[in-house]
Chain A
Amino acid sequence: MSLIHLVILSPFLLAILVPFAHKYFKNIHTGWFVLGLPLVLFIYFLQFLSTTMNGETYTSTMKWIPSIGIDFVVYLDGLGLLFALLITGIGAMVVLYSIYYLSKEKEALNTFYVYLLMFMGAMLGVVLSDNLLVMYSFWELTSISSFLLISYWYHREKSRYGAQKSMLITVFGGLAMLAGIILLYLMTGTFSIRENIANVDLITSHELFIPALLLFLLGAFTKSAQFPFHIWLPDAMEAPTPVSAYLHSATMVKAGIYLVARMSPVFAGAPEWFWLVSGFGIATLFWGSFSAVKQTDLKAILAFSTVSQLGLIMSLLGVGSAAAYYDYIGENAYTIATLAAVFHLINHATFKGSLFMIVGIVDHETGTRDIRKLGGLMNLMPITFTLAIIGAFSMAGLPPFNGFLSKEMFFTGMLKASEISAWNMETLGMIFPVLAWIASVFTFIYSMILVFKTFTGKYQPEKLDKKPHEAPIGMLIPPIILASLVVIFGFFPMLLKGVIEPALYSILPSNVLSVEVKIYHWHGFNTELFMTIGVILVGILLYLTVAKWGKIYEWFPQRLTLNKLYDGGLVALDRGSSAFTKSHMTGFIRDYLVMIFGFMIVLLGILLFATDAFNVNLTNVAPAGIYEVILALVMVISAVTILFVKSRLAAIIALGAVGYSISLFFVLFRAPDLALTQLIVETVSVALFLLCFYHLPELSKKMDKLRFKVTNFIISLGVGLVVIFIGLSVNSSKLFESISSYFEAASYKEAGGKNMVNVILVDFRGFDTLFEIAVLTIAAFGIYAMIKLRLTDKKGGVNGESK
């Protein structure tokens, strides 16, 4: 246990203390107790910058389950540090924002901060763990804490629905990832990410390579809301806005991005990886931006925008993976895509975080997030408006903000992708830049909608619940910080060189020798610049005419949406399993017996003949005497009589006849003790049957004819035949001599008894008898209790009289 382990686990420790702080310091907002931790952690992680900038990494091991190779190994390299800084930095701002956003009186703050801290610790664990299983544990913990945070207002049905949906989808992906981890372990025998990367040749040539790749991608795509698993993210917007800002824009949804980046050295270079990551990324980018335009809820716009931007980063990582394939050193053009991915990752966290906070402010000050009700807030909330302009313009990719730079690099990456000359890219390559350009146009449109529909236009005070005014300064500080970062990174992108460069070395394969981070605002008149100008021109045109062409969204059939598929799938699963259960769990005991007997016939019958076990050998058979044959006939006749008699009395008598003929068999086969016991037991049984018969209901006394059902007949015939076949086969193949010669020899000499059966019962195998006595005792007590105890009647009252 070193300091860094303590750092990762510190949010959990603080989460334990938060309820006490909430209880004993009622006058202070609980958030103040929390705020210090992410700040301290942020500063702590900043000091690692010098380590990673020199290309060094930091490792620390804490034993957990060493016997199966699971230790809590912290591995801090450029990529992990980048994420850790994002998590703690934005975490601090979100905590500050939530202090002003959540009311001290109305909300259950203790649970909120416990969940939030749990999430923060889990997220730090995900990005800093070297052991895959430890990472998986933290990964699921992020799913759980996200579930808890989405359903924070659990009395709302939509919150619960959104939480359940996100839980189902992300846990599904998490389980797939676990399977991928296990496959990797099967290939290399280690859970360590670094050791897996070192064994990349072994993995690439292994037959489990493709399944492991697919399973890892399933985990990453569900977590990062990639198409078609993006549907949980818009519904997760029911969470409080600080949660949306933190989890669903800056950190948790980037866990999938992190996974893809982290596993790139293992899987990149395979065409499947390239196609899936960049293909799904670009599809998500397009679909997210296309869907965002039609939303009327500000948070829904931001949710689809997040989906789309995550797709952008994902597609860049996919294109960047081509760097592993074109392994010539020097001018590796595809590393620029990875560079763009990392740069945009940071940019997106800054502007999306601030936009969510701005939307939260608008919601907080006006009481609604519906853009149809909002408008003309520019003069009322000037600071918020300024911040929104910065965030939205950066998201749209306009200069001079940082979004412009990453968008330019994105276009560069996509243009490069169209030049890839392997993996069937020759024909399909042009799809990438074209789709990227169209998606950028849509991004521009919804960014404009976000700002101008909210802050300009007609002010409609009659539609608002509250009188809007500027937000308190505490609520504005975090978005101001983020927006200033947007501007600073926009003007001085090289400030980030120290963070981005080590991260690139973590993502790219080892054969890329040097990466030089060069991000400049002005890079000459090139294709990318003209594409951006095109985006702006077409975007403005489409934004102004959105009322006319917006109708195309209505053409899309509502029945075919993915949400309908998900909801319908859940309902169908529920109904299907319920119908399946009802189809065989009928509640009729006869049906269950039919199943049991049928299964017995099929299984035993098939086994008997499939294994060639059935044979009849007559050499060992004793001769049949006339008495036995007659007795057997009597027995068969009386047994079959039971089936056909119409009165129950006759059935009981016939049963008695069977029992007495068995005792006669015992006499014939030289078993005097058995004969005695059988006689007595049969007599008492018949008496008991008669006693019950006497108490049976009036209506049953007029005997209805036995219901002769063909299935019953076939099944009982089958059971009888199986028993006969098995009995004959067993009889025909005796493998060993009986041990009874020992009993013959020893029962008088060692046990002092001449009746061998009795000696076996009380001496050689006395335990059987002991527990047989126990059985009888229990039966007697049970019968007594059944008759005597009348505790409750149907209404639950006491019905104490006994007969």
Chain B
Amino acid sequence: MEIIMTIVAGVLVATATYLMLSRSILRIIIGTALLSHGAHLLLLTMGGLKRGAAPLLGQEANAYSDPLPQALILTAIVIAFGVTSFLLVLAYRAYQELKTDDMDQLRGNENHE
């Protein structure tokens, strides 16, 4: 199972990389969102995917799935959400001010930083 999940995470990272290399801001932000999905999946996979009960003590199970990676992922999801929404509003404002969403046109140069 871990092998499949690792490959899925790798595919997510590869697509994210490809999107981040494109010209449109929106695609870059989609890329970052995909990248964070890949990272979360990888975190979960690295923690081990052995079958066990959900980490709730009331379940009286023999084995629980590892709670620590879940806590880490929960934190990461929230932070990624904060950053993504900030980026989105930034892109929206950049379009409002500069009338473009093309990264090549947003390029800084010596005359206009």
**Interface, chain A (partner B; CB < 8 A):** 586-590, 593-594, 597, 616, 618, 621-625, 628-629, 632, 635-636, 639-640, 642-643, 648, 651-652, 655, 658-659, 662, 665-666, 669-674, 677-678, 681, 684-685, 688-689, 691-693, 695-697, 700, 706-707, 709, 712-713, 715-717, 719-721, 723-724, 727-728, 730-731, 738-740, 743-744, 747-748, 754-757, 760-761, 765, 768-769, 772, 775-776, 778-780, 782-783, 786-787
Q: Judging by beta carbons under 8 Å apart, are A688 and B100 in contact? A: no
B1's partner among A621, A674, A696 (CB-CB below 8 A) is A621
B82's partner among A760, A776, A786 (CB-CB below 8 A) is A776
What are 12 residue pairs bridging A and B, where the CB atoms are less than 8 Å apart in the complex? A587-B108, A642-B34, A662-B37, A695-B95, A721-B10, A721-B14, A724-B10, A727-B10, A738-B47, A740-B64, A757-B74, A768-B71
- Measured CB to CB, the nearest residue on chain A to B18 is A716
Contact (A642, B21) CB under 8 Å given A648-B26, A772-B79:
no
42-95 of chain B: CB within 8 A of chain A: 42, 44-58, 64-68, 70-71, 73-75, 77-79, 81-86, 88-93, 95
**Interface, chain B (partner A; CB < 8 A):** 1-24, 26-30, 33-34, 37-38, 40-42, 44-58, 64-68, 70-71, 73-75, 77-79, 81-86, 88-93, 95-96, 99-104, 106-109
Contact (A643, B18) CB under 8 Å given A669-B65, A673-B70, A760-B71:
yes
A670 and B16 alpha carbons, distance in the complex (Å): 26
A786 to chain B, nearest CB (A): 5
A696 and B48 alpha carbons, distance in the complex (Å): 42
Contact (A639, B11) CB under 8 Å given A651-B30, A677-B74, A727-B46:
yes
- 16 additional contacts (CB under 8 A) given A760-B67, A776-B79: A616-B3, A636-B11, A642-B34, A643-B19, A669-B44, A671-B55, A677-B77, A678-B77, A688-B88, A696-B95, A697-B99, A707-B22, A709-B21, A744-B67, A754-B56, A757-B67
A787's partner among B12, B54, B89 (CB-CB below 8 A) is B89
- Measured CB to CB, the nearest residue on chain B to A668 is B49
Q: Judging by beta carbons under 8 Å apart, are A688 and B85 in contact? A: yes
Q: Judging by beta carbons under 8 Å apart, are B58 and A695 in contact? A: no
A692's partner among B15, B26, B66 (CB-CB below 8 A) is B26
B6 to chain A, nearest CB (A): 4
Q: Judging by beta carbons under 8 Å apart, are A671 and B57 in contact? A: no
Q: Judging by beta carbons under 8 Å apart, are B56 and A783 in contact? A: no
A755 and B65 alpha carbons, distance in the complex (Å): 12
Q: Judging by beta carbons under 8 Å apart, are A772 and B75 in contact? A: yes
A636 and B7 alpha carbons, distance in the complex (Å): 9
B12 to chain A, nearest CB (A): 5
Q: Judging by beta carbons under 8 Å apart, are A640 and B30 in contact? A: no
B33 to chain A, nearest CB (A): 6
Q: Judging by beta carbons under 8 Å apart, are B17 and A731 in contact? A: no
Main SS at interface, chain B: helix
B70's partner among A616, A674, A731 (CB-CB below 8 A) is A674
A691 and B29 alpha carbons, distance in the complex (Å): 14
Contact (A652, B8) CB under 8 Å given A717-B14, A760-B67:
no
Contact (A692, B49) CB under 8 Å given A662-B40, A671-B65:
no
Q: Judging by beta carbons under 8 Å apart, are B6 and A662 in contact? A: no
Contact (A748, B57) CB under 8 Å given A642-B15, A643-B18:
yes
B17 to chain A, nearest CB (A): 4
B33's partner among A625, A685, A700, A738 (CB-CB below 8 A) is A685
Q: Judging by beta carbons under 8 Å apart, are A744 and B64 in contact? A: yes
Q: Judging by beta carbons under 8 Å apart, are A588 and B104 in contact? A: yes
A426 and B66 alpha carbons, distance in the complex (Å): 86
Q: Judging by beta carbons under 8 Å apart, are A659 and B37 in contact? A: yes
- Measured CB to CB, the nearest residue on chain A to B14 is A720
A756 and B41 alpha carbons, distance in the complex (Å): 20
Q: Judging by beta carbons under 8 Å apart, are A731 and B107 in contact? A: no
Contact (A720, B20) CB under 8 Å given A696-B26, A787-B93:
no
With a cutoff of 8 Å between Cβ atoms, the chain A residues found around residue B8 in the complex are 632, 635-636
Q: Judging by beta carbons under 8 Å apart, are A594 and B4 in contact? A: no
Contact (A731, B45) CB under 8 Å given A715-B21, A743-B68, A783-B89:
yes
Most buried by B among A672, A692, A731: A692
A744 and B58 alpha carbons, distance in the complex (Å): 11
A721 and B45 alpha carbons, distance in the complex (Å): 16
Q: Judging by beta carbons under 8 Å apart, are A715 and B17 in contact? A: yes
Q: Judging by beta carbons under 8 Å apart, are A622 and B15 in contact? A: no
With a cutoff of 8 Å between Cβ atoms, the chain A residues found around residue B82 in the complex are 775-776, 778-780
Most buried by A among B11, B21, B101: B21
With a cutoff of 8 Å between Cβ atoms, the chain B residues found around residue A594 in the complex are 21
Most buried by A among B48, B77, B106: B77
A670's partner among B20, B23, B52, B85 (CB-CB below 8 A) is B52
A96 and B110 alpha carbons, distance in the complex (Å): 52
A696 to chain B, nearest CB (A): 6
With a cutoff of 8 Å between Cβ atoms, the chain B residues found around residue A696 in the complex are 26, 95, 101
A695 and B91 alpha carbons, distance in the complex (Å): 10
Most buried by A among B45, B68, B108: B68
With a cutoff of 8 Å between Cβ atoms, the chain B residues found around residue A597 in the complex are 17, 21
B101's partner among A684, A697, A716, A787 (CB-CB below 8 A) is A697
Q: Judging by beta carbons under 8 Å apart, are B9 and A743 in contact? A: no
A743 and B70 alpha carbons, distance in the complex (Å): 12
Contact (A756, B26) CB under 8 Å given A622-B2, A787-B89:
no
Contact (A754, B58) CB under 8 Å given A716-B14, A719-B14:
yes
Q: Judging by beta carbons under 8 Å apart, are B73 and A674 in contact? A: yes
A631 to chain B, nearest CB (A): 9
B15's partner among A672, A716, A728, A738 (CB-CB below 8 A) is A716
Q: Judging by beta carbons under 8 Å apart, are B18 and A779 in contact? A: no
With a cutoff of 8 Å between Cβ atoms, the chain B residues found around residue A727 in the complex are 6, 9-10, 42, 45-46
